[in-house]
Structures are given as structure tokens and as C-alpha cells.
């Protein structure tokens, strides 16, 4: 039986640090606002007046520092530090000691239920005195328990009613940074990269520490520092020394560092003539590189690899397979318990098949052939982070291979950092989708958390929306997407409603009137964006390259699947992509229960109608409207929903500061302007095919189609660097 590390937090906090003036939004959801309710404040001060925290590792030191910071800020007093956990009000026991048997007897939570990284927070009555006990099996469990405890305090949870037993359902919970070594960020909309490579390793920016704190507070335990469109230089000694400095900071917060491995690195920095994964010299080079990396970073997590996709090198350059490439790298990392995360985002200009089918076709035949330390990382949908996609058919189709979910937190196709879009609603929709792999109830969440197939390794990744913007993410509400990703990576069965409630209380206010106004706005925001961008299953109709704004008319790019016209297929006969047996037959990649439903336009959920069907403009929707009228009304509805968001935000002025209100108000004005742009540009273009009038209730466009087609944005943020 594992000895339990105990955190009986006898609260009276010890660290009284002055944190100085912090820019608005910098603290994220860790604001630790002073509790204003005098009754609750008095209760907390009495109940958290003394704390026992045993000395230990750097992780425990980080937990102790965070506890001091949070309690000092919220209670405006520091608890007294007790040398005796029996006398303390809150008990944090740092070493692997058995909890006092008398305490064990009165605990109702079963400490045997928490595994690695899990924790228990429970209020008990011990010898006639109330105590808060936080216990875990390892140091990082204590750290997570401290963060959760502080979040409960901030949310106003009663001390006499604390009982939380929680542990992560997914092993690898990580951010994927698409950061380049020149500090640009591909698809980044919040400034430049956090990583100042020029100043590392000597200069450790406070932001690195606060980044680690933020991630640990929501259970994220891994970070991939570099872009999937990789640069091999990061694997050279000069950069490994810099990566090691970051890893040292993150280690105190339970976070491992991962790097993207450029498949052609043996040639580009190793002087070899080939990168063939079956070549003995290539295999030797990667094994030696792994040894070198682990000398710099003993707890290095492993490699994330984008191969044979969008021009990136890979094993197919040498007529080898994804298995050959992934397993070659996995063997190099295996002695160090490192993992290979091999991305399934593949599509080829040499394959005329429907792009939505290609990843399934390339990977599913290799089910069960990857090594145990390989995860296949698939995007949530079969195309590319669209505002709405059906779940990727690979989920549920590879029972012998652990599949890792890849969500996008940064809003590449969702208005960048100027649009308020609460993405946990999208994540929930995907995770709760039923694959029918083992009959009804076979959700995507159960596939990726390993519970269906007893996978030894599980993971979820989020493409980061973090930059050096003062508030980290560019839009205050974009912070909720980082927060929400972490919460769902910890537990993929959480609901967006719960996450929105948590984040609002931690970030803005616990006032129930404020929550009742803003939470519904957040929960509806993603659907509003779908309506004014890509309604009824339309997808990938964004302007070329930068993906800023509409571009349904683009059809002159060198590869067919790069063109929006490829996806909507609008003509005088109708609109949509036929993926039924009469078209590309992509529906066959789903379970029979699903394919039967979506093959018939009458039973296909209308939110996916044009994803799976090409239908005439006068096709009758379920509400009796023609397809053309329904499309136009959805675009108008999206605009109206943003107007409602603006009005709702105006109504919450009394609950927040003037600066907080003004920042979001200005961003919502941008969102409204761009929602109208999307509506007008798309309807004018599609109207050139339908030849039908706009229905009543839809505003007439202010400009001509030619005007919208003439708009150019050569310096839109987040464009992929030319050297890629």
C-alpha cells in the first residue's frame, strides 16, 4: 500500500509577500480577490488561522508559497504556521507518512481511491476540533489540492462542508505551443511567444513561473514548447541548454517539457545523407540525441511529431510508414520512459480522396502496430478546427492504439482574439459525441480516457492561445478557454456549464446576479459564431492563408483542398459536400448507427447537413424554410446574437470595474462589425448561385460582393512563417 502524503492544512499562512501593481487580467483566474462578505470572512479567518506544512520538495515549496499568496490576498491576513499538525486548523503533511490513525478514523473519504496526482480535501472533527485535511499520494497531488482548495475559498465554499476526492482521468494533459524560435507564433493572436530564447538560460522571466502556476492550477502537466512545423535547431546543444532552464522552472509545478522533432533533423543538424527511419545510422543518431537530451533534462517528456503533412518531412519520403517513423523515435526514448506523440493531421496533394477521409485511411490499418510509448494525436474533427465539425471517425476505430485528443484553444477559425467564443462548449460537444463503437454510450470521452480499451497511456492536447499580451490571451474571455481546456483534460466528462460558473467566480465576481447574466452569454457564444460564419454544416470557407474573415469565393489555390470552393461546392443546383455513398462515402468511416442517420438528409442533424450533403437551394428544412432562406436566417441570427451579447455586457457595469467593462465592450464592438461582414459577404456570394431574394428579417448588405472580395490582409496575425 502506498504511504499517503498528507496535507492537513492548519491554516494560518506564513508568507506575506507584496506583489506590487499587476496589469489588469495578468492574474488570470488566480485573482484571489479579498472576500467582502464579513460573515464568511470571519469564518474563514477563524477556520484557517493556523497551518501545518511539512518541509519537502520544490513542488511542496511551490504549494506552500501558493497557499500563502492565496490566503493572504483573500483573507487580508496570514495564518500562523504551526509546528504541530494536531493543533493546526489546516494540515499539509508533505512526506510520505501515514495519516494519524485517529484522523483516518474520522475521514469519510477513502484515501485508497486516489492514485497518482489525485487528492482529498475534507473537513473533519478531530478531538472536538474542526480541521481541514488535504492528502495525496505524491507531491504534485498536494499542489493540485492546494490550488483546488484556494478555488473553493474564492468561490465562497463553506469550510464545514468540504469533501472533495478528485484525480485526473487522463495521463498527459498538455499544451501545444505553435511558437517559433524567432518568437512569432503560428496561429497566435496574443502577441509574441513567451519564450525569450535570446535571454535564456540565464534570464528567468517571472512570466515563466506564473505560466507554470496557471497550468498547475488546472492540472496541466506537460507543455510542448515549439511549433509542430518544427525547426531542428531546438535539438542542438545551444537550445537544449535553454530548454533545460525552462524545464527547471516548470518542474516545481509538476510540468514536463516536450519538444517537436523535425523528422529531417539527422540531415539538417546531424550531417547525415538521409532521414530514413530504417537506416541504421539514422536510428543511431536519434538514440544518441535522446541520450543527449536527457542529460540536459532528466525528466524530458518526449517528442511531438508532425510528419508527411502540409509539406513537412516524414517516413513516407522514403516509402516507409507512420509506424516505421513513430516506432523508430519511440525506441530511442523508451529507455528514459519518454513518449512519442505522432500527429494524425495528414492530407496529401497526391491523394484525390476527400480530405476528410485521409487520416482515417492512413492510420486505421496500422491499429495495434505502434509501440506502447506512442500516442496518435488526432484533431477533434476530420478537417481542421472548424467552428463545428462532426467528431473524427478515428475515435473508436483504433481499439489497440491510444488516441490522444487535440483541441485548438487559440481561435484560428473562430475570430482570433477579438471574438468572444467559449470553447468548452465545443469541447463538450465533441467529447460527449457517441461513436457507437461498443453500442450506445460509447462516447469520445471514454475512448480517449482509456476506459473503453484499457489503454496504458492517455492524453489530451490543446493548441495554446498564450502570448506575451498583458492578459496572456488577448481577450479576457479567451482565458476561459485555457482554463476550460485544463479542466476537461483533467476530467473529460465535466460540463461547459460548470466550467463557465467556476471561471466567472474566480475571475470576475461571485455575485449570483452577475453570473446569471454572463454565464448564458458565454454558453451561447460558440453557437452564435457558427451561425454568422459556417451555419448548417458549411466549413472551411475562410479567406486564404491567414483565415481572417470570409473567403467562400477562393478557388485559385494550387491544391484543391486548400480552396473554400472545394468544401461548399456551391453552384446553381445547390450547395454542400456530398459525403454519402453517392459522393465521397466518408460516412462509411463511422459506425453503422451513425452512417445510417447521416446518409439521409431528412434524419441528418441539420447542424451537419451541408457537411454531408449537397442539396438544392429550395430543399425544405425541418422548420419548413427553404435551404436558402434557412441559411440566410442563420447568418442574421448570428449577428443578432452578438447584438444581444453587447446588450448583456452593458447590463453588468455595476458588477465589475470600469476598465474590465470597457475592454470587453470594445472587443464586442469588433465582433459585431465582423459578424455583419461575414453575413453580408457570404450571402452575397451564395446569392450569385441561388438567384433568390433574401428572406424577410435579413438585413441588406451595405456593400457589393466585389467590395468584400477586394479586401486584403497581408499582415493578419498568426500567419505561418514563409520558411515552413
Question: Strand runs (DSSP E) across 503-546, as ranges?
Answer: none
Dist CA 605 CA 595 (whole Å):
12
Contact 212, 257 (CB under 8 A): no
Q: Is 310 a catalytic residue?
A: yes
Residue of 205, 299, 310, 640 marked catalytic = 310
Q: Is 362 a catalytic residue?
A: no
| Alpha-carbon torsion angle 151, 152, 153, 157, nearest 10 | 160
Dist CA 120 CA 109 (whole Å):
7
What is the H or E stretch that residue 375 is in? strand 374-379
Q: Is 448 helix (H, G, I), strand (E, B) or coil?
A: helix
Is the C-alpha dihedral spanning 642, 647, 651, 656 positive or negative? positive
Residue 667: phi, psi to the nearest 5?
-65, -40
The candidate with the shortest Cα–Cα distance to 493, out of 221, 217, 166, is 166
Dist CA 410 CA 323 (whole Å):
30
Residue 536's Cβ-side half-sphere holds a number of Cα atoms within 13 Å equal to 27
Dist CA 70 CA 378 (whole Å):
37
Task: Using DSSP bridges, classify how beta strands 459-463 and 172-176 pair: parallel, antiparallel or unpaired.
Answer: parallel
Question: Mapped to the 3 state alphabet, what secondary structure does 92-142 carry?
Answer: ECCCCCCCCHHHHHHCCCCHHHCCCCCEEEEEEEECCEEEEEEEECCHHHH
Residue of 54, 122, 276, 412 marked catalytic = 412
Contact 367, 400 (CB under 8 A): yes
Q: Is 498 a catalytic residue?
A: no
Q: Is the peptide bond before 441 cis (omega within 30 degrees of 0)?
A: no
Residue of 384, 406, 527, 674 marked catalytic = 384
- Other beta carbons less than 10 A from residue 65's beta carbon: 18
CA distances 147 to 41, 69, 121, 256, 312, Å, are 19, 11, 11, 19, 40
Contact 465, 478 (CB under 8 A): yes
Q: Give catalytic residues, as residue numbers.
A: 310, 384, 412
Amino acid at each position: 500500500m502506498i504511504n499517503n502524503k498528507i496535507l492537513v492544512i492548519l491554516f494560518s499562512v506564513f508568507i506575506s509577500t507584496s506583489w506590487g501593481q499587476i496589469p489588469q487580467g495578468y492574474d488570470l483566474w488566480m485573482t484571489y480577490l479579498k472576500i467582502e462578505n464579513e460573515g464568511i470572512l470571519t469564518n474563514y479567518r477563524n477556520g484557517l488561522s493556523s497551518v501545518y506544512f511539512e518541509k519537502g520538495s520544490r513542488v511542496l515549496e511551490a504549494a506552500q508559497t501558493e497557499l500563502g499568496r492565496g490566503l493572504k490576498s483573500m483573507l487580508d491576513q496570514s495564518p500562523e504556521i504551526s509546528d504541530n499538525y494536531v493543533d493546526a486548523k489546516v494540515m499539509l503533511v508533505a512526506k510520505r507518512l501515514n495519516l494519524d490513525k485517529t484522523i483516518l478514523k474520522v475521514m469519510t473519504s477513502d484515501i485508497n481511491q486516489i492514485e497518482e496526482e489525485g487528492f482529498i480535501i475534507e473537513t473533519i472533527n478531530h478531538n472536538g476540533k474542526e480541521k481541514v485535511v488535504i492528502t495525496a499520494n505524491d507531491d504534485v497531488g498536494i499542489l493540485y489540492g492546494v490550488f483546488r482548495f484556494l478555488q473553493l475559498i474564492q468561490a465562497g465554499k463553506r469550510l464545514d462542508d468540504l469533501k472533495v476526492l478528485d484525480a485526473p482521468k487522463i495521463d498527459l494533459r498538455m499544451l501545444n505551443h505553435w511558437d517559433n524560435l524567432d518568437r512569432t507564433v503560428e496561429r497566435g493572436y496574443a502577441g509574441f511567444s513567451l519564450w525569450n530564447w535570446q535571454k535564456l538560460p540565464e534570464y528567468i522571466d517571472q512570466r515563466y513561473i506564473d505560466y507554470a502556476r496557471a497550468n498547475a492550477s488546472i492540472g496541466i502537466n506537460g507543455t510542448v514548447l515549439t511549433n509542430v512545423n518544427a525547426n531542428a535547431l531546438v535539438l542542438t546543444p545551444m537550445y537544449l541548454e535553454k530548454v533545460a532552464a525552462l524545464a527547471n522552472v516548470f518542474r516545481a509545478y509538476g510540468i514536463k517539457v516536450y519538444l517537436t522533432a523535425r523528422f529531417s533533423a539527422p540531415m539538417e543538424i546531424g550531417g547525415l545523407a538521409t532521414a530514413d527511419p530504417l537506416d541504421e545510422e539514422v536510428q543511431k543518431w536519434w538514440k544518441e540525441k535522446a541520450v543527449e537530451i536527457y542529460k540536459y533534462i532528466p525528466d524530458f517528456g518526449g517528442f511531438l511529431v508532425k510528419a508527411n503533412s502540409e509539406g513537412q518531412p516524414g517516413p513516407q519520403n522514403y516509402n516507409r510508414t507512420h509506424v516505421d517513423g513513430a516506432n523508430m523515435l519511440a525506441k530511442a526514448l523508451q529507455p528514459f520512459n519518454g513518449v512519442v506523440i505522432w500527429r494524425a493531421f495528414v492530407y496529401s496533394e497526391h491523394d484525390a480522396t476527400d480530405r476528410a477521409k485521409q487520416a482515417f485511411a492512413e492510420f486505421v490499418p496500422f491499429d495495434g502496430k505502434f509501440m506502447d510509448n506512442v500516442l496518435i494525436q488526432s484533431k477533434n474533427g476530420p478537417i481542421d478546427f472548424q467552428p463545428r465539425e462532426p467528431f473524427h471517425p478515428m475515435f473508436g476505430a483504433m481499439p489497440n492504439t491510444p488516441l490522444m485528443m487535440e483541441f485548438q484553444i487559440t481561435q484560428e477559425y473562430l475570430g482570433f482574439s477579438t471574438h468572444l467564443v467559449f470553447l468548452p462548449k465545443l469541447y463538450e460537444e465533441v467529447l460527449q459525441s457517441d461513436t457507437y463503437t461498443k453500442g450506445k454510450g460509447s462516447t469520445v470521452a471514454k475512448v480517449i480516457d482509456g476506459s473503453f480499451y484499457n489503454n496504458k497511456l492517455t492524453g489530451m492536447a490543446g493548441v495554446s492561445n498564450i502570448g506575451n499580451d498583458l492578459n496572456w490571451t488577448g481577450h479576457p474571455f479567451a482565458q476561459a478557454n485555457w482554463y476550460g481546456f485544463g479542466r476537461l483534460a483533467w476530467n473529460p466528462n465535466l460540463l461547459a456549464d460548470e466550467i463557465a460558473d467556476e471561471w466567472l467566480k474566480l475571475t470576475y465576481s461571485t455575485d449570483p446576479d452577475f453570473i446569471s447574466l454572463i454565464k448564458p452569454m458565454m454558453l451561447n457564444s460558440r453557437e452564435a459564431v457558427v451561425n454568422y460564419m459556417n451555419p448548417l454544416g458549411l466549413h472551411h470557407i475562410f479567406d486564404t492563408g491567414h483565415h481572417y474573415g470570409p473567403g467562400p469565393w477562393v478557388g485559385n489555390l494550387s491544391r484543391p483542398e486548400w480552396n473554400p470552393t472545394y468544401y461548399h461546392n456551391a453552384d446553381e443546383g445547390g450547395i454542400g459536400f456530398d459525403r454519402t455513398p453517392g459522393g465521397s462515402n466518408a460516412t462509411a468511416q463511422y459506425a453503422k448507427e451513425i452512417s445510417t442517420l447521416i446518409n439521409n438528409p431528412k434524419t441528418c442533424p441539420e447542424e451537419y447537413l451541408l457537411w454531408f450533403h449537397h442539396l438544392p437551394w429550395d430543399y425544405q428544412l425541418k422548420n419548413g424554410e427553404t435551404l436558402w432562406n434557412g441559411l440566410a436566417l442563420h447568418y442574421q441570427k448570428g449577428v443578432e446574437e452578438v447584438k444581444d451579447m453587447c446588450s448583456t455586457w452593458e447590463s453588468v457595469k455595476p458588477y465589475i470595474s470600469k476598465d474590465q467593462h470597457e475592454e470587453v465592450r470594445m472587443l464586442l464592438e469588433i465582433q459585431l462589425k465582423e459578424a455583419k461582414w461575414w453575413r453580408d459577404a457570404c450571402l452575397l456570394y451564395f446569392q450569385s448561385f441561388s438567384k433568390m431574394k433574401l428572406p424577410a428579417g435579413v438585413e441588406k448588405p451595405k456593400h457589393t460582393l466585389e467590395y468584400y472580395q477586394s479586401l486584403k490582409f497581408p499582415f493578419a496575425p498568426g500567419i505561418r512563417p514563409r520558411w515552413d
